[in-house]
Amino acid sequence: MAAPPETVTSEPERQQQVAYEQWLVQQQHLIRQHQVYYETEVSKLRKQRKSLNSRQRQLRKNNQELNDADAAELDRITTEQQGLQKSLDQVRRQARQHTMLFQDYRNKQQKRQGGPVAGQPPSSPSPMAGKI
């Protein structure tokens, strides 16, 4: 979605600004949901893979191998985890980019309004400001 004009002079521009701000928040929420989903799935697969790798190590100590089903499951989990990890990395990049976009927008709003943006705490003066 395109950012609204720098200076809002009409009702349609104000509505565009409100719609853009809502879109920013919605996108942030969706990206966060995707990130949580991928993190959860990768974590589950890591635990499964860890368990199968542990069993495989124990069997190898006894000169045995995983049965075919477990070996196939280990391969499937490894492949699936790699794909999900790539997706998770992509979502994390997207989250960083969106956070930067959101922050840039807030900074522009703050400069235009000459103060902190609503929902953001005002910056406090440095404790060393008056002690020179």
65 pLDDT exceeds 70?
Answer: yes
| Total-model pTM | 0.76
Within a domain: residue 69?
yes
42, part of any domain: yes
**What's the structural domain count of the chain?**
1
Domain annotation covers residue 23: yes
Residue 50 reports pLDDT greater than 60: yes
Give the model's pLDDT for residue 131. 45
Residues 6+ apart with CB under 8 A from 42: 81, 84, 85, 88
Q: Which residue has the tokens 């928040």?
A: 25
Report if residue 6 sits inside a domain: no
In a domain, 24, yes or no: yes
Q: Is residue 68 part of a domain?
A: yes
